[in-house]
Structure 1
């Protein structure tokens, strides 16, 4: 069987001794003395650095050690990374691998050496909309450009800053601008114009010196971000006026990436459409300033009648009145959306603020004579000679609650160009991905079309600021790193595997450490499957697991249970209770169920929703769920309703590891599917599928030369529109060495949308010197229990951090790691390397000249391609790694940026280590695009979201129980994962 306690050991039948993980210590003490927690030395590697702690002999000595630990921590705190500390300089460039060239979607920008001038902008009355602010400044330039601005064309950021390529003829000046309603100056005046007072005041003069220094690779505390901001604003000036701006991207139906003029927009279903556009950002690189341009697409409201939107979005029969619950949903979907009236030739726009409580035929208001009370339906008939065809529907409300303006839905049309910011359903996500999924050559051509359409050479403001933008994609040197050799079990026909094109298979191979499964069960919730299908499927799956090296009992401890899909929790509880009773009566060595198999619901023939449920599996439970539905939007509900409840029940209440399987796959019983599931089951029970050959032979620099623990961390945030749910942090850590394939996970809820991980190390404010919670300490203790060793090196891969948060992460998270180490033992400060991993960037690489020998089957660059020259940071230690083979669309390389390095990594050392780890991902026989520790942390954090959202409630809800008080979200409780589940890779 697989033991998931102190050692994490998982051995099966016929295991080779050289491949068995080392047994763990018997003592519960972590940093205790030799002879009590150090495992059999005959099972340890021949040589490694192992620090020992003198045994405490008396209680007073224990107190002395604790006091010394606190002193060491305080001493360390004086030398922690401060906000002014710079990331390490690049230690050189990598040399390993086949050299080649690739094209990057970066366009080199040259800038004349001249000074720029910054002016503060104040607009009164204050305006919230950037679009309206831009319209005001545009009108100011049109009116006063020749007479008062010295004929200069200023660049405006839409907020408080305006830049010019030369000084204006004043230090401070006030201007008056009238803006018409059609330009955004909404007004209650009959003329429709609104008066604004604009004050321009000189702020500073900016030169290019510090930017030149940065581009030459000189590190300095003087960040030239202000001058980069000026140049970025200049390049965004024209598209900001012509297109819809969303963050750093621009969208418009006219932005076509093909010869079809209609390709700029498309249907997303359910009242939404997508607009094509592009992302644009100015970045400092080794080649100089570069303009990063990438294709994009976003969801927008379809410019249709509100009644049509409600019908499509909520699948409503518009002849029936809305219930109170329906009315709340419509209000939430449409609040803040602008509409205009279709029965009037010239109608102003209105912003929806609410929905009336009564239908249009019963919503009453008083006319201007203060005497006559009339319904909205009657008013529109008498005033505009139009008949309200849906008098049973509520009205849209514009204006304030004290002075509401009621508008019948059927006369209101949604204004074009409004972005949809809420969560998309499955069908919409699929349509959006289909629209944006482009082969590399198509994406490259589309980017070239965007650059050509922008005509930077002909834009006056770009020329005025002395900027020249290349029209060709940057050509940068790259290298293709060799794939690592993988080891499987010696009893298989193939023991050594040399992956080709980033992938391999399990044919003739056996898992390096197959887990043992004695106690398992199966639940079938399907009402459509033939009764013998679950039995046949389980037999096929168990046979596959055994053929791949596991020791899997062919008989479940209970007969397969056929349960009601509407009683999920009850069925899971009953199986758990019955299995515990059966295990006790048979004197089984296992005290609890190891695995529960769950076959998921039949979804009326559509299985798209179920495709991701496997990501949320725990101990082995085979559950088959079935559900009849008649409405399409039930898919979104079921995704949360079933998956959340199953995983939360199994992992946080019952302590069961489960494996969810799709009913259509249970019917097909394909060997490839069973093989993939067996890989997940093995690591969930505590086994290992494969290991790096170089790790076994201790030939991986910076990993196997001394005891090393590898961490991965990520934070997931609530969906857009959710203003109360907590953010969830997940930290995983390797539990074996030198193989580094097993990981343990800890999760924690923290403040709403807080990116910094709060529980890496936290002291209890009520108890002096007491550690309240420390995920780092917990993992280090578990590593010691699992291996009998104490880490001499820490490598930390951190996902999800943007460049603007680098300094915060360096200040707080690295500091927390050091404090956690110092708290375990005085003087224990293993060197740390902290690497930020980024996937949400817009750099893409394309094979040069479409060379077939330099691309994979999908047309993407080869797996293992690394870029650390050209478009990387001028001085800091970063690189792009495309570790995986493309499947469809254009591959997105991962960007690795070293923020802290006490291990003195070389470029080759970190690049080769990271690329090799990408071949150890447990769930498939492919190299993955993200280093596995960070990938696992992402999966675990996403899984934990289901623990608090598993009840199917709308995550965007702002119900009273989750309301924000004084600007601070009240954290929802995150159930704790049971220990036996937490200590295995349940998130796989």
Structure 2
């Protein structure tokens, strides 16, 4: 595929930049990776070629899983790299075959008519910026003048809600202008005091949609092209057009009005809908086709109710209590917690209750004024020719009293709306507003709401399958007038594929175990016990010798006798698992035990540290804290002091578990303590990999995991830190992992060059010294979590480039061969095994591998269910290999990922995700305790070019402070401190 000269120049410049320079060595957590991996599309291209600028990251998000890596390269105008990993020629043949029903439904017939694509622009009486608002554009599109000119309803048009429209019939002219007068259509008389309401829609024919090219691509007869992307974009909108008119649409989810609600508390409710997405797939016979993925959608919404009631539910208070909260917050409103918490109402749509015909508004913010303090120009002051700012001012309270006879609530803030009147703000009292129906609540749920949501969302496979079938009935493809008009037919029967259940590994425990391995039936059941088993690696290098147990005082704290009994059991069970507790000449194996008071703040841990150290006349190497509840702030304060000030391993326990002292609970605690002191629970040894890849065991291999977690949407998320966590295997058996975490700007998706240079570089050097005997690994398996399809290319161009740069800096002559796998959880593919072929809930068994029916036709991806779902329907992990310099065979890679799920450090089950990535999740979450409470500038701000980076960033300059460094004098970073 050819490229404009400008793009070639950009690429040449990129390759020179990346080969000549090295990533910065300075610690700057907001530093952006440079050069940029994805060049901008040439601004001088022929405007008639494509109506959409596919270089913008969000332009194609609705069809992201359709494109694959090659499609994204094409969309961004970049030549396909030679390193692109193609689908293996054969499916995995190891293990047992198993029939699996998928929630995918194949397309039987694609359109065979000519479809014309139009680019839309709008002009008229509104301000230019108002023509970006969907509400106005929808009114224009639905106007009688537009519908008549477009030939509806004989000719069914598809509109994307913004800039694109499609039709099966071409308009008489390639350039068409249609003018509508919304006031006239709605029967409103012209108002001399405001602008008119006339608008012109300009339609410009851009291209024919070519279904033949898409079919040729699927048949392997043509390469990716923008023609394919245009066709897919049309099909995606075609699929959603009719449901979007019947149901509430949120992206690809549709929620039926009147569906049964489930109250989550705090003014929030949940209800179920249906998800539908089009994608290309590969079937069991290596045939390529289109398919629709249908699943249950669980949505959270604001309850439709009076705003005053919603506020009372959000803050769990009465109106007088809310007034008292407002009075206290008014003194320092800008920085108040109340102002911050009220931000969750931003952009919520409300309707008025004081007028005969409700008018609709959108909340902008709550302001630091009550109804008597909020003033605006009196609309009844009609002196002609007077500047609106010179009109008589009236308070909201007086206006509503005089105009409507309503006495507004006093002492509570009024709401400022997004819309202005006469260039001035519009204020509304909260007691005349009602929240509109079916509005998405997209802020992070509280712990109690999350718990309620999980109960609502988690369903067994048979119930989920019934919900999928109900979703198919709701979509009603056979009677969809738009599908019929354009000739798209979808099979209402789900796809069925042949899956494989991969062979389990041998899971080994330490010498002296009553049962040194796990029985085959327990491996398949996905659950086993630690009773009578010793850890595969104990804490021989870090025996427990100077340790303390602090019981935080408060309601529910256990009495001293209960703590002592728990400690005795802990020592007994830990030693029973092979753990080492050194006996002190004077105190034996009994730790320092004492109370702790949260009122002491940071001195609490200092006192525990000092008293434990004094008892043993040496620095402690383990501190245990017993807390009365799950207060995250208390937990993080403890971890912050232990990690940052003292560099000591720590374990937090809940009082209720300490008092019950269940042996199983204590065994779980022992697994975590053992890992924090350098041990490992068990080791998975492969029976299959030595046969299919004999050289694998002797090839020095490093496994790297990475995850970037972002702040939850909602109040303050625009200034909050993202966290980049990187893990590196710390032993030849890949049981233990080092982890490094650092802030990663605000919503920056790619791990920054500075973070890779400093943190991955540190661990790579460690690996070479402690495992590689001075040499670099020959292979690096990099498993990256949480990356959308549009960012796959950036992972290669930025993160992998920076990791290779680290090895160069260390002085490696032979560069390790990188294999990069993306692990994705955010998808809607589910497995429904044949009756009797799954577990007791009919979820898939551990090791269920699916390579067809839902996978990409040409690229190497697969779905693997490696765990047993405790409740609900199991969610497989989608793995896609995007680089394979290490030349891993498909079966070897699939087996390697599956087998390692059995050696997750703190579980007696296989886990759903490869442990390298799972540990990155844990480390990122734990490192939130390491945030600097008094943030300082982290260095340079992002430049404008940085903000436009392909890797994503916040919309404004945000300075994120680095985390406080772990105190490593006692080697805390050498063990799994985060576990």
Give the TM-score taking structure 2 as reference length: 0.81
Q: Give the structure 2 partner of residue 386 of structure 1.
A: 406
Q: Is the 8 A contact 2:708 2:725 kept in 1?
A: yes
Q: Is the 8 A contact 1:268 1:428 kept in 2?
A: yes
Q: Give the structure 2 partner of residue 270 of structure 1.
A: 266
Q: Is the 8 A contact 1:648 1:950 kept in 2?
A: no
Quick one: distance in 1 between partners of 2:611 and 2:728? 34
Q: Is the 8 A contact 1:760 1:813 kept in 2?
A: no
Q: Give the structure 2 partner of residue 228 of structure 1.
A: 232
Quick one: distance in 2 between partners of 1:887 and 1:153? 48
Q: Give the structure 1 partner of residue 511 of structure 2.
A: 490
Output aligned runs, 1:673-822, within 5 Å: 673-694=665-686, 701=693, 703-721=696-714, 722-737=717-732, 739-759=733-753, 773-789=757-773, 790=775, 791-822=777-808
Q: Give the structure 2 partner of residue 959 of structure 1.
A: none
Output aligned runs, 1:438-453, within 5 Å: 438-453=459-474
Q: Is the 8 A contact 2:727 2:737 kept in 1?
A: yes
Q: Is the 8 A contact 1:145 1:153 kept in 2?
A: no
Q: Which runs of 5+ in 1 are unaligned?
A: 1-68, 257-262, 603-609, 611-637, 763-772, 953-962
Corresponding residue SS for 1:410 = helix
Quick one: distance in 1 between partners of 2:192 and 2:344? 30
Distance verdict in 2 for CA 1:331–1:305, change over 3 Å:
same
Distance verdict in 2 for CA 1:413–1:378, change over 3 Å:
same
1:129 shift after superposition: 3.6
Q: Give the structure 2 partner of residue 975 of structure 1.
A: 964
Distance verdict in 2 for CA 1:131–1:448, change over 3 Å:
farther
Distance verdict in 2 for CA 1:377–1:134, change over 3 Å:
closer
Q: Which runs of 5+ in 2 are unaligned?
A: 1-17, 24-33, 38-72, 284-288, 330-335, 382-389, 936-946, 948-952
Q: Give the structure 2 partner of residue 171 of structure 1.
A: 174
Q: Is the 8 A contact 2:822 2:880 kept in 1?
A: yes
Corresponding residue SS for 2:653 = coil
Q: 1:347 aligns with which of 332, 355, 358?
A: 358
Quick one: distance in 2 between partners of 1:187 and 1:686? 78
Q: Is the 8 A contact 1:652 1:975 kept in 2?
A: yes
Distance verdict in 2 for CA 1:451–1:186, change over 3 Å:
farther
Q: Is the 8 A contact 2:689 2:696 kept in 1?
A: no
Output aligned runs, 1:91-102, within 5 Å: 91=88, 92-102=90-100
Output aligned runs, 1:575-974, within 5 Å: 575-583=608-616, 585=617, 592-602=619-629, 610=630, 638-639=631-632, 641-694=633-686, 701=693, 703-721=696-714, 722-737=717-732, 739-759=733-753, 773-789=757-773, 790=775, 791-848=777-834, 851-852=835-836, 854-948=837-931, 967-974=956-963
Q: Give the structure 1 partner of residue 116 of structure 2.
A: 117
Q: 1:357 aligns with which of 332, 349, 368?
A: 368
User: 1:507 and 2:531 equivalent?
Assistant: yes
Corresponding residue SS for 2:117 = strand
Q: Is the 8 A contact 2:746 2:954 kept in 1?
A: no
Q: Is the 8 A contact 1:760 1:816 kept in 2?
A: no
Q: Is the 8 A contact 1:107 1:472 kept in 2?
A: yes
Q: Is the 8 A contact 1:948 1:973 kept in 2?
A: yes
| Per-residue Cα deviation, 1:320-366 (whole angstroms, up to 9, x for no partner) | 42232475246423222222221222121122223343332454445
Q: Is the 8 A contact 1:726 1:969 kept in 2?
A: no
Q: Give the structure 2 partner of residue 245 of structure 1.
A: 249
Quick one: distance in 1 between partners of 2:666 and 2:184? 63
What RMSD in Å do the two structures reach over aligned CA positions? 3.2
Q: 2:562 aligns with which of 517, 520, 533?
A: 533
| Per-residue Cα deviation, 1:406-436 (whole angstroms, up to 9, x for no partner) | 3221221111122122221111112222111
Q: 2:87 aligns with which of 82, 87, 90?
A: 90
1:220 shift after superposition: 3.4
User: 1:477 and 2:493 equivalent?
Assistant: no
| Per-residue Cα deviation, 1:261-313 (whole angstroms, up to 9, x for no partner) | xx3x2211111112322222111111411111111122211111111111111
Q: Is the 8 A contact 2:536 2:681 kept in 1?
A: yes
More displaced 10-residue stretch of structure 1: 686-695 or 857-866: 686-695
Q: Is the 8 A contact 2:149 2:178 kept in 1?
A: no
Distance verdict in 2 for CA 1:483–1:103, change over 3 Å:
same
Quick one: distance in 2 between partners of 1:187 and 1:552? 87
Output aligned runs, 1:64-79, within 5 Å: none
User: 1:571 and 2:604 equivalent?
Assistant: yes
Output aligned runs, 1:125-144, within 5 Å: 125=126, 126-130=130-134, 132-139=136-143, 143-144=147-148
Q: Give the structure 1 partner of residue 551 of structure 2.
A: 524
Corresponding residue SS for 2:513 = coil
Q: Give the structure 2 partner of residue 294 of structure 1.
A: 295
More displaced 10-residue stretch of structure 1: 898-907 or 397-406: 397-406
Quick one: distance in 2 between partners of 1:478 and 1:189? 70
1:189 shift after superposition: 8.4
Q: Is the 8 A contact 1:286 1:870 kept in 2?
A: yes
1:386 shift after superposition: 2.9
1:138 shift after superposition: 3.3
Quick one: distance in 1 between partners of 2:166 and 2:609? 68
1:229 shift after superposition: 1.2
Q: Give the structure 2 partner of residue 36 of structure 1.
A: none
Distance verdict in 2 for CA 1:247–1:567, change over 3 Å:
farther
Q: Give the structure 1 partner of residue 486 of structure 2.
A: 465
Quick one: distance in 2 between partners of 1:858 and 1:477? 20
Q: Is the 8 A contact 1:397 1:406 kept in 2?
A: yes
Q: Is the 8 A contact 1:713 1:937 kept in 2?
A: yes
Q: Give the structure 2 partner of residue 304 of structure 1.
A: 305
Q: Is the 8 A contact 1:249 1:280 kept in 2?
A: yes
Quick one: distance in 2 between partners of 1:696 and 1:784? 28
Q: Is the 8 A contact 1:864 1:884 kept in 2?
A: yes
Quick one: distance in 2 between partners of 1:122 and 1:779? 53
Give the TM-score taking structure 1 as reference length: 0.80
Quick one: distance in 1 between partners of 2:463 and 2:495? 17
Q: Is the 8 A contact 1:150 1:168 kept in 2?
A: no
Output aligned runs, 1:9-158, within 5 Å: 84-85=80-81, 87-91=84-88, 92-109=90-107, 110-124=109-123, 125=126, 126-130=130-134, 132-139=136-143, 143-144=147-148, 147=151, 151-158=154-161
1:526 shift after superposition: 3.0
1:888 shift after superposition: 0.8
Q: Give the structure 2 partner of residue 377 of structure 1.
A: 397
Distance verdict in 2 for CA 1:164–1:965, change over 3 Å:
closer
Quick one: distance in 1 between partners of 2:189 and 2:702? 60
Q: Give the structure 1 partner of residue 59 of structure 2.
A: none
1:696 shift after superposition: 13
| Per-residue Cα deviation, 1:364-399 (whole angstroms, up to 9, x for no partner) | 4453337765543333233212333x3232322234
Q: Give the structure 2 partner of residue 614 of structure 1.
A: none
Quick one: distance in 1 between partners of 2:410 and 2:357? 24
Quick one: distance in 1 between partners of 2:337 and 2:809? 55
